Amino acid sequence: MPRADLVLLHSPSVYDFRKKAAIYGPVSDVVPSTPIFEMYPIGFMTIANYLKSSGYSVRIINVALRMLKSRRFDVEKLIRSLDPLAFGLDLHWLCHAQGSLELAKIIKKYHPQTPVILGGLSASYYQQELILYPQVDYVIRGDSAEEPLRQLLEIIRRKGSLKSVPNLTWQDNGGGTRVNELSYVPLDLDNLSFDYGGIMKSSARYRDLAGHLPFRGWLNYPIVAVLPWRGCRNGCSTCGGAAHFYKNICGRSLPAYRNPGLLAQDIASISHYLKGPIFILGDIRQSGQEYVERLLAEIKKKEIKNDIALELFSPASKEFLGMIAASIPKFSIEISPESHDEEVRRAFGRDYDNQSLESSIEDALRLGCRRVDLFFMIGLPRQTPESVQQTIKYCGVLLREYNKNGNTRVHPYISPLAPFLDPGSLAFENPEQHGYKLFHKTLEEHRQALLAPSWKYMLNYETEWMSRDELVASTYEAALGLNRLKVKYGLLKQKEGRIIEIRIRDAMSLMRQVDEILLVKNAQVREDRMNRLRARLSSFSSSSTMCKKKELRWPVKSIRFNFFRIIRAALARK
């Protein structure tokens, strides 16, 4: 097997999930991952492509996915067999705090001299604490690790001075923490490559297809994302990717955009290999009218046949939707109104009314939009249990209005803000002001919380309007209500709805049993009872509770790949 200079590893959220099952809850029901969050960040691909173009070999190993696919997969054996210049681990989403640190520990056990580098938004936020863990050698801060990582690898290889590496946090020989200046903050994303062909070549080179796949089930549903920008102009109260976070933690005062011509080319290259849907992350309107016009004109020229889904941060005008329809023959949209209640929505940071939301849905459907996905959330400022139930009623109103005569293009979803309110978000930084109470603040507290037997105890917050118990109860009640509506309006078959209802009730009952066990005073009795329950918990460790993953799927062709082109790319020389 060829040796890689850098091995990028993605851990499960909780390393031991195969042995110490827990009810991770419906935390990932509305994303492609399972509850152990096996999906690696898109940054793995841009880092790998960037470093390869600078002469480094990079291997990605999705350890989480390989563990998920086989109970017998031996992580330690794999780590022992590797011999790179350095290991890289993501701590982008905080839910990986336990998994990434545990994996780093295993790396150090077998390779005490090989540097372990962590990066991502959560790593950046907790850099000072993270660098103190003995299994962590370096933290790369900011939203653009590609170039700092290249410089760091150069230093590791040639043994130069670490002081010159931008965005680096490290420890000097005396054990003192050194925080280099956050000076690498690129103004655009034009020197990055979002070419998925690089991943395909790499999976052939290292003969490891499973280790390169982004999430479980991807081969059946090969959705890929493209990124118009890094950063955000908005300030939603619970979001750790909001404007102030990028400013305070990543040193970014404005989003960095990708040239529309390059973004359209990214989409065209993907469609060359894959026939699955392509998701344009973020809202392209963020970059202004001129950007939107140029991007859509470029996409139109490329005559993309794939379904393309666009994320919108707010309702869209008829003109904008018309431009999309004229450029993308098969388009879908995704909006997150968060709540039916305009006051709750405003408190969260989204200031628009239901009238404009509904007008957008109507316009989009009239213009041929293949699907409108609507995401609602539980755990918002000013949101009460009653308000959550009203949100479900509102979903019923929307479904009655738009999903009639066999039409099933509007799909509502609801999920809790879990397991964590994002560190660095406005609500996390000023909890009282936003009506939040925090249970965990430090990285170590979050790491330990992830080992709790149910997601109720993992939650790092409750609100002035809902206790942890109410957040949990409202989540399952809402799930039951929405499930019934989906059956009623044809989004789910009767049988599918029945299975989901049984699963939700099973999860509710297990949550109650965990609560009872935790009240047992005798530690040994408590542990024995918990161990007896774990077999039942394990089915909730690796699959959804509140909805089927299939529900999230935008349309895909039955032939999802262009195999000839994939093989040609995989065999191509570097």
Pairwise CA distance, residues 538 & 545, whole Å:
12
To ligand SF4, the closest distance from the beta carbon of 282 in angstroms equals 7
Q: Cβ closer to ligand SF4: 52 or 382?
A: 382
Token pair 């690089």: residue: 198
To ligand SF4, the closest distance from the beta carbon of 30 in angstroms equals 14
Does residue 537 interact with ligand SF4 by CB under 6 A? no
Q: Cβ closer to ligand SF4: 234 or 539?
A: 234
Q: Is the peptide bond before 228 cis (omega within 30 degrees of 0)?
A: no
Coil, strand or helix: which one is 423? coil
Count how many residues are written for the chain. 574
Instruction: Show the tokens assigned to 333.
Output: 């949209």
Nearest in space to 471 (alpha carbons), one of 399, 384, 341, 560: 384
To ligand SF4, the closest distance from the beta carbon of 291 in angstroms equals 16
Pairwise CA distance, residues 471 & 416, whole Å:
8
As beta bridge partners, residue 118 has 89, 139
To ligand SF4, the closest distance from the beta carbon of 17 in angstroms equals 28
Q: Cβ closer to ligand SF4: 345 or 503?
A: 345
CA dihedral 183, 189, 192, 194 (to 10 degrees): 140
To ligand SF4, the closest distance from the beta carbon of 483 in angstroms equals 26
Pairwise CA distance, residues 461 & 449, whole Å:
12
Q: Cβ closer to ligand SF4: 115 or 241?
A: 241
Q: CA-based Rg of the chain, rounded to a whole angstrom?
A: 23
Residues that contact ligand SF4, how many (by CB under 6 A): 8
Residues numbered 228 to 247 that lie near ligand SF4 (CB under 6 A) are 232, 234-236, 239, 241-242
Residues numbered 43 to 62 that lie near ligand SF4 (CB under 6 A) are none
To ligand SF4, the closest distance from the beta carbon of 373 in angstroms equals 15
Q: Cβ closer to ligand SF4: 189 or 365?
A: 189
Does residue 452 interact with ligand SF4 by CB under 6 A? no
To ligand SF4, the closest distance from the beta carbon of 296 in angstroms equals 21
- In this chain, which stretch among 188-196, 227-235, 264-272, 509-517 interacts with ligand SF4, using CB under 6 A? 227-235
CA angle 543, 549, 555 (to 5 degrees): 160
Does residue 313 interact with ligand SF4 by CB under 6 A? yes
Q: Cβ closer to ligand SF4: 235 or 288?
A: 235
488: left (phi over 0), alpha (psi -120 to 50) or beta: alpha
Q: Contact at 8 Å (CB) between 17 and 33?
A: no
To ligand SF4, the closest distance from the beta carbon of 246 in angstroms equals 9
Nearest in space to 168 (alpha carbons), one of 195, 149, 185: 149
Q: Cβ closer to ligand SF4: 172 or 343?
A: 343
What does the DSSP 8-state code read for residue 430? S
Residues binding ligand SF4 (CB under 6 A):
232, 234-236, 239, 241-242, 313
